């Protein structure tokens, strides 16, 4: 098969066969293949797109360039994926909650880059926590505990790893078929039979418009369905940080506070929405109401927090953090960010808030940057809230006084003020599965 012929076909907007797509994926996984040919085909796909069959074929082909797990975990293996946002700590809440209800959660997560946080970085802020485990140990923990969260193996979908890097430097990132096949290739390779997708929309999301998010969600559900997986997707809001804590140890603290019943709000609500669908795709609930009641019972009885402690212990971490959050890394400086006069918080740039935390050391500009697990910020008010004169709208957690002052300015510049209240930010926009799509007013 000739790579130039494949490029030519897509250049003239002709569909590629499954065999041609498999050839492309295998070439991407082969170090001897040429970057310029791969990049040329990526650009042709970016300009001319792929139909549903082609997109699904690319996801499956990329998955099969590496290990494809078939998890024997004593039940239906389920997984959840978020397209990323600010203070999105749902994984650390819904994974143990779902496991406490009998789910078998096989979760492979990534590190953060840019303004979005990475679950693996958050977990590594727990003393002793091991996130790189051999496959058999990973699956054994899922069998025994019900859940395990580890970093993505280099052996999973190696073609995607190379194409992802090429897309970043060839202006082909913003392609729905390439984004969807990239995400779903890793989900297929990880072996989960039930997959729940959380597609974020808003100022703190990777994709800002609802139309793009709906297209991406529909495409990923279609890929999973064609690959024989049970897939559900929610489109949820990221007009403001989902939780109040932004930063690695801070977000772990907030997850523990939620599971302990000390904190409620949008972070818990989205966790329950996603967790309910995990139970449904895992065959553990008859409907959403049944699933939600199971999750609330696990929350109320403390079984969710206990399951998090079990998972932490199984992965070498100190489970005492679930009882004493001061065992997590602590920043030396806590700088309040007050307002000069009484005012209503009418909006915010969630991405800018994430970037303020990144500037403190909570995130990376490049993959080589070292994370400071203790730093970040806590937002004390949400959109629609009133802030009294002299009251702090946020608190900066830092280990460098100059960076703390800069972060405080960045946070204030990210906020929109007014003299009247506005409605709270919307949380749920749409629900999509292989049968239908429901859009919420």
Q: Are 199 and 216 in contact (CB under 8 A)?
A: yes
Contacts of 195 (CB under 8 A, 6+ apart): 78, 79, 80, 81, 187, 224, 229, 230, 231, 232, 281
List Cβ neighbours of 241 (8 Å cut-off, separation of 6 or more).
85, 86, 87, 204, 350, 353, 354, 379
**For residue 373, what are its two tokens?**
């697990």
Tokens of 38: 């791969």
Dihedral class, residue 264 (left if φ above 0, else alpha if ψ from -120 to 50, else beta): beta
Q: Find out whether 279 and 85 touch, Cβ atoms under 8 Å.
A: no
CA distance 404 to 381: 19
How many of the other CB atoms lie within 10 Å of CB of 284? 20
Residue 116 DSSP code = B
Indicate the pairing of strand 245-246 with strand 415-418.
unpaired
Residue 332 CB contacts under 8 Å (≥ 6 apart), including other chains: 398, 399
Q: Would you give the end-to-end CA distance of the chain in angstroms?
A: 50
Catalytic residue set: 81, 160, 167, 182, 186
Partner residues linked to 108 by β-bridges = 150
The Cβ of residue 301 has, within 10 Å, a number of other Cβ atoms equal to: 12
Alpha carbons 72 and 145: distance in angstroms, whole number: 14
């Amino acid at each position: 098969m000739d790579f130039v012929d494949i490029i030519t076909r897509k250049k003239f907007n002709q569909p590629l066969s499954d065999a041609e797509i498999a050839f492309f994926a295998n070439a991407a996984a082969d170090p001897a293949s040429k970057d310029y040919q791969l990049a040329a085909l990526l650009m042709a796909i970016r300009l001319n797109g792929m139909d549903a069959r082609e997109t699904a074929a690319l996801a499956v082909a990329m998955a099969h360039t590496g290990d494809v797990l078939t998890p024997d975990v004593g039940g239906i293996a389920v997984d959840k994926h978020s397209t990323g946002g600010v203070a999105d700590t749902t994984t650390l809440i819904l994974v143990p909650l779902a496991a406490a209800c009998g789910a078998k959660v096989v979760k492979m997560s990534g590190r953060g880059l840019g303004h979005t946080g990475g679950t693996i970085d958050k977990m590594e802020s727990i003393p002793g926590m091991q996130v790189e485990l051999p496959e058999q140990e990973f699956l054994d923990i899922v069998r025994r505990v019900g859940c395990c969260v580890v970093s993505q193996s280099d052996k999973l979908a190696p073609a995607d790893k190379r194409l992802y890097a090429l897309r970043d430097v060839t202006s082909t990132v913003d392609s729905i078929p390439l984004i969807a096949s990239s995400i779903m290739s890793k989900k297929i390779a990880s072996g989960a039979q039930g997959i729940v997708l959380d597609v974020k929309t808003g100022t703190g999301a990777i994709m800002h418009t609802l139309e793009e998010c709906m297209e991406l969600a529909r495409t990923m559900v279609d890929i999973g369905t064609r690959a024989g997986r049970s897939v559900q997707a929610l489109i949820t809001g990221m007009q403001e940080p989902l939780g109040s804590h932004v930063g690695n140890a801070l977000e772990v603290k907030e997850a523990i506070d939620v599971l302990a019943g000390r904190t409620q709000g949008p972070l818990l609500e989205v966790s329950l929405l996603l967790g309910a669908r995990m139970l449904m795709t895992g065959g553990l609930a008859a409907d959403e109401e049944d699933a939600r009641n199971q999750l609330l019972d696990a929350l109320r009885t403390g079984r969710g927090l206990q399951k998090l402690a079990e998972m932490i212990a199984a992965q070498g971490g100190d489970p005492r953090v679930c009882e004493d959050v001061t065992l997590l890394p602590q920043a030396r400086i806590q700088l309040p960010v007050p307002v000069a006069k009484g005012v209503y918080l009418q909006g915010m740039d969630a991405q800018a808030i994430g970037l303020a935390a990144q500037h403190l050391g909570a995130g990376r500009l490049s993959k080589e940057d070292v994370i400071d697990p203790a730093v970040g910020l806590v937002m004390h008010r949400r959109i629609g809230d009133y802030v009294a004169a002299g009251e702090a709208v946020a608190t900066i957690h830092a280990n460098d006084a100059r960076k703390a002052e800069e972060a405080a300015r960045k946070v204030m510049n990210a906020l929109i003020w007014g003299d009247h209240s506005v409605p709270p930010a919307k949380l749920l926009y749409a629900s999509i599965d292989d049968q239908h799509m429901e859009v919420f007013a």
